[in-house]
Structure 1
Amino acid sequence: MAWDEWEQLKANASGSNSAQTRLNQVAPPSGDGGGPADLASTPAEKRTAANAIEQHLEPGTAKAGNTVEISTESAVSEFRGKDGHGWDTSTALKKAHAAWEKQVKSLVGRLSAEKYALRETATRIQNTDIGIGTQFRQQSQIDKH
C-alpha cells in the first residue's frame, strides 16, 4: 500500500462522510448489536443445564468411553500373536486406546467443571452485587444521615 493511499484511507475514516461507530447507544431490539436479542439465562435454566450434564452427559460419556475397552483388549490380544511375534497393530492399538482413555477422562472432567460453573454462577453474581452494594453504602452520604 502506497503512503498516499494510506493517508487517503485515514482521511476518509476521520472525515464526516464516513460511518463511525457510536458507543453511546443501546443495541436495537432486533439483535443487530453484537448478539442475539434472546441471549438470557436464568438460574433455573442454569440448574436444568447442570442437571442434564450430571444425569445424562457425564454418565453417557463415561459409558461410551468404557464401551471400547473389551473390544480393544480383544483386538490387542489377537494381534499380539501367540508365539511372541505379533503385528505392530497390537502396539498401535494399545497406544491409541491409552490416548482414547485420556481424552475421555479429560472430557468428563471438562463436563464436571462446566456443571460446577453453571451451579455457582448465580451465587457468585449475587455475592458480587451484595459486596458492591455494601461498599457503596459505606461511602454514601445519604445512608449516613
Structure 2
Amino acid sequence: MTEPVGMRLNQYPADPGGSPGGSTGPGPGGLPDFGSSPTEKKAAAKAIEDHIEPDTKKAGDVADEETNAAVKAFAAKDGHGWVTSSALKKAHKTWGEQVQNLMNRLGSEKTALRSTNTLFLNTDIGVGNGVRKSSSLDGF
C-alpha cells in the first residue's frame, strides 16, 4: 500500500539549493552564502574589468555597426524611405542609452567591490575611536 502524497507549504525545502560560484551552502538565516571575502570581491571586480565591461562594449559596438547599416539600407536617398528606418533609428538610440547605463552600472559595481573593504575598515576605526573617547575608565 502506498502512502498518500501531500504538500506542506509551511516549511523550507530540505535543500534550498546552492548559490552560484560554488558556495558552501546556506549562510545565516538559511540564505545562500554569497562570496564576500576580500579575495572574492577582488576577483569579482577583476572579472568585471577584464571580461564583462570589454565584452559588453564590444557587443554594443558590433550592434551599432549592424544597426547603422540597417538604418541606411531602409532609408531612401530622396528622403522618402521606409518608416522602418526611422523606427529602427529610434529603437537603436534607446538601446544605446541602455547599454551606456549598463556600462555605468558595471563601473559602479566594480568600484563598490573594490572600496567595500576600505569602507568597513574606516568604519571600524571610526567606531573604535568614538568608543575610546567616551570610555568611563579614562576618569581613573
**TM-score when normalising by structure 2:** 0.75
Question: For 1:52-90, what per-residue CA distance to the aligned partner results, in whole angstroms no more than 9, with x for missing partners?
Answer: 101111111111111112221111111112332211000
1:107 aligns with 2:122: no
State the Cα distance separating 1:32 from its structure 2 match. 7.3
CA RMSD of aligned residues (A): 2.0
Q: Tell me the distance in 2 between the aligned counterparts of 1:63 and 1:35.
A: 36
Q: Tell me the distance in 2 between the aligned counterparts of 1:74 and 1:30.
A: 50
- 1:10-89 → structure 2 map (5 Å cutoff): 31=27, 33-36=29-32, 38-89=33-84
Higher relative contact order (CA 8 A, sep 6+): 1
Question: For 1:64-118, what per-residue CA distance to the aligned partner results, in whole angstroms no more than 9, with x for missing partners?
Answer: 1111122211111111123322110000111011111101000000000000000
Specify every segment of 5 or more residues in structure 2 that has no aligned partner in the other structure, as ranges. 1-24
Change (3 A) 1:30 1:94: closer
Q: Tell me the distance in 2 between the aligned counterparts of 1:88 and 1:57.
A: 35
Change (3 A) 1:73 1:119: same
Identity score, percent: 53
| Structure 1 partner of 2:124 | 129
Q: Which has the larger radius of gyration?
A: 1
Tell me which amino acid in the other structure corresponds to 2:106.
L
The counterpart of 2:133, out of the listed 120, 135, 138, is 138
